[in-house]
Amino acid sequence: MTTKKRRYIKLWLVPFIAVMFWAFEAGFNHNLSADNDETYKGLKLFSDVIELVEKNYVDPVETKELIEKAIQGMVSSLDPHSSLLPPEALEELQIDTHGEFGGIGIVITMQKKVLTVISPIEGTPAYKAGIKAGDIIIKIDGKLTRDMMLWEAVKIMRGPKGAEVVITIVREGLSEPVDFKLIRDIIPIESVRSIVLKPGYGYIRITNFQDNTTEDLDLALKQLESGDVPLKGLVIDLRNNPGGLLNQAIEVSDLFLQKGEIVSIKGRLKTHTKLFNAHKNKIKRNYPIVVLINGGSASASEIVAGALQDHKRALIIGTTSFGKGSVQTVETLRDGYGLKYTIARYYTPNGRSIQAQGIVPDIEVKYAIISNEDADEGMRMLKEKDLKNHLEAEPVEKDKIETESEEQKDEKKHPSMHLLETKHGPLKLEELQSDNQIMRALEILTGYEILKSIN
């Protein structure tokens, strides 16, 4: 790991145990400032509490741990994406986006302090052992996960190839927890996969935005464009894509745009306010595009979908995206710590903030397996607006925030969440043909081609 200090802007929703942990890095140290009376009083109160607990609490306490937890509580109360990163967590965040990692191969999230499997990655130890989407991990090597931070769980499950790890799973339908002994392996993560749906119509799935995503996408496009039949239409699948690198989202959008704004980020400080524009491409891709999104499409995915939608370069179909329209940065602190916090909101070319609102598809199509009409999204997927302390689309004064009804509070307290399994394995045409959203996209593209030929 380089000691040179750098700044990256990245956007993310959930990490890969494999491990794909999206964040940014920055390199300043800041001195705490108490330049007003209220700040000074607050710091003095904090100092008094620490002193009293140290001297009088029934059991001995670790002062360092107390302070760390206090800072963590303070920062996490701002919004769901801000947190203090201990040295181990900061290190994990910096080991990302290189295409392969040592681990067991699952996508996870922490929901209501419960470590939950979003999806196993096809072909990995977790997939082969039978880990399923929706499984709850209650123990890792015998250690309870209930009070773990997400990065802690990631760190424990990562490791060298050939090393064993035991995870204990609770699964709906099973009467008791089950232990899975897994042997870690090197997990290759391909962010771009492509296939021909039928002559002249291509399909590209982007699973996340990492260092080489634009390069791999450009290669996939050229392969599809150089087929025996000219490319008449393209389906870009961003479903369950949790995000990744901001610059990759911008460059991916730029591949399909010749001019105009792609995205803007606006913060309280001028340094956190930027505008990103498209550049003229040597290759003009004029064929129609359909982009698929759902409630698992977040951050960088929403930037791409929003840019192509506002420029009327693509038709967006599926269901409303996650709605994470905020930008986080990580600043390195003393003693190896880091602070991840929100610095800006991002806006689509038409000036839309999608924070807690999401990208609304042009045509809503709920997911279903064509061979089973009862298999659809049904229950509402978790969205940004469901997260505690989420930012509003625009800054608002506290006294102007409307109070929620008891019904709304109950809905947020007991959100019925259904996550589609994120697919990370090789594309299979038969599988894609059973996906109603993909087939709907293909129908739209072929219908457009037919209509063009009608005089």
Q: What pTM value is reported for the model?
A: 0.74
Q: What is the pLDDT of residue 66?
A: 94
Task: Give the rounded percent of residues in the chain with a pLDDT score beyond 90.
Answer: 56
- Where do the domains of the chain lie? 100-188, 192-327+343-395+408-453
Q: What is the mean pLDDT of residues 11-29?
A: 38
Q: What is the pLDDT of residue 1?
A: 43
Reply yes or no on whether the pLDDT at 133 is more than 60. yes
Cα 159 from Cα 185, distance rounded (Å): 8
Cα 254 from Cα 182, distance rounded (Å): 41
Helix (H) or strand (E) holding 317: strand 315-318
Catalytic annotation, pick one of 79, 185, 254, 310: 310
Task: State the pLDDT confidence band at 323, using cuts at 50, 70 and 90.
Answer: very high
Task: State the pLDDT confidence band at 445, using cuts at 50, 70 and 90.
Answer: very high
Q: Is 48 a catalytic residue?
A: no
Catalytic annotation, pick one of 119, 194, 299, 301: 299
Cα 120 from Cα 407, distance rounded (Å): 35
Q: What is the mean pLDDT of residues 55-69?
A: 94
Is residue 189 within 8 A of residue 18, CB to CB? The reply is yes
Strands 143-144, 164-170: pairing is: unpaired
Q: What is the pLDDT of residue 189?
A: 73
Q: What would the two tokens of residue 310 be?
A: 């506002």
Name the residue with tokens 């209509």: 451
308: three-class secondary structure by DSSP: helix
Catalytic annotation, pick one of 324, 340, 383, 423: 324
Q: What is the pLDDT of residue 424?
A: 55
Q: What is the pLDDT of residue 102?
A: 86
Mean pLDDT, the chain, integer: 83
Q: What is the fold of 100-188?
A: Pdz3 Domain (2.30.42)
Q: Is 341 exposed, middle or buried (0-12, 13-18, 19+ CB in 10 A)?
A: middle
Q: What is the pLDDT of residue 397?
A: 60
Q: CATH for 192-327+343-395+408-453?
A: 3.90.226.10
Reply yes or no on whether the pLDDT at 132 is more than 80. yes
End-to-end CA distance of the chain: 62
Reply yes or no on whether the pLDDT at 237 is more than 50. yes
Selected residue with higher pLDDT from 395 and 309: 309
Q: Is 324 a catalytic residue?
A: yes
Q: What would the two tokens of residue 55 be?
A: 């001297």
Closest CA to 421 of 104, 60, 134, 39: 134
Reply yes or no on whether the pLDDT at 141 is more than 60. yes
Domains 100-188 and 192-327+343-395+408-453 share a fold: no
Q: Is 254 a catalytic residue?
A: no
Strands 372-376, 315-318: pairing is: unpaired
Task: State the pLDDT confidence band at 433, using cuts at 50, 70 and 90.
Answer: very high
Angle, in degrees to the nearest 10, between helices 246-254 and 213-225: 20
396 prior amide bond cis, ω within 30: no
Measured at the CA of 336, the angle between CA 335 and CA 338, to 5 degrees, comes to 115
pLDDT digits (tens, 9 = 90+) for 148-204: 888 889 889 988 999 999 999 999 899 999 999 999 998 877 889 999 999 999 999
